[in-house]
Amino acid sequence: MAVIRLGAVDYLNARPLVAGLDRRPDLFALRFDPPSQCAELLHAEEIDVGMIPSVEFQRGVASYRIVPDMGIVSDGPVASVALFSAKPTSAIRSIAVDTSSRTSAGLLRVLCREKFGIEPELVPMLPAIEPMIARCDAALVIGDPALYLDHHAAGLGKIDLGEQWTALTGLPFVWAFWAGRPGVLSPDALAALGDARDAGVAGSDAIANAYGGPDRAALNRAYLRDNIKYVLGEREAAGLQRYYDLAEKHGVIERVRTPVFF
């Protein structure tokens, strides 16, 4: 079988899912990109399997399959997807939205209507906090830029979208998962993805220490240990379905397609 072109997210939270896969050139050719780019590459068939934002399953081809039992998940605060603003939520009229974001942008729209009671203008921008805040009342930032932003030093409040989702629904939030077209993953490849996840979770401290330099090691360890989960079980599937239902209700997606697994 041909080597599988595997597209991973270029953030710390994805590293435990790919632990050791660079040592399996017999199975995978691995690349790293922002979440939105992973989705575009998969939709364009430039990769075979991608770690795509969960909302992109609804926007891709109908035949997509999800790798079972694994994803990037939070159950409470996520720390790396947040709304930053110096204003109270009720006063926010415009939000600069990180262009790397797909699922988070959809979640923001849901939370604005379901929880915050606001209808702000959403302005796509690159994830640089100063121009974002200069242009808009608030900024949605995701991934490493959100995790490492010292919002206190910037004089900003931080609203954690994972925490807000769980407060609203009582459920975890599924940010991303492996997905691809039918037939692209052999049993050996599926097993290798599961083994990588297990090794990455077991070795998360070592991954954290090696990522981003010693000054960030403690933050990285706490983040991978306390904020990010890598299991897609029944509660996580219920959270995913709830997100899809609300995304349809608020026009983020046209219709809900039931998740299908490899």
The pLDDT of residue 56 is: 94
Please report the domains of the chain, with CATH numbers, ordered by start residue: 4-74+172-249 (3.40.190.10), 81-169 (3.40.190.10)
Show the low-confidence residues of the chain (pLDDT under 70): 1
User: DSSP letter string over the chain?
Assistant: -PPEEEEEESSGGGGGGGTTGGG-TTTEEEEEE-HHHHHHHHHTTSSSEEEEEGGGGTTS-TT-EE-TT--EEESS--SSEEEEESS-GGG--EEEEETT-SHHHHHHHHHIIIII----EEEEE-S-HHHHHHHSSEEEEEHHHHHH--TTTTT-EEEEHHHHHHHHHSS-EEEEEEEE-TTS--HHHHHHHHHHHHHHHHTHHHHHHHSS-GGGHHHHHHIIIII-B----HHHHHHHHHHHHHHHHTTSSSS-----B-
The pLDDT of residue 144 is: 96
The pLDDT of residue 172 is: 98
The pLDDT of residue 1 is: 63
The pLDDT of residue 61 is: 78
The pLDDT of residue 101 is: 84
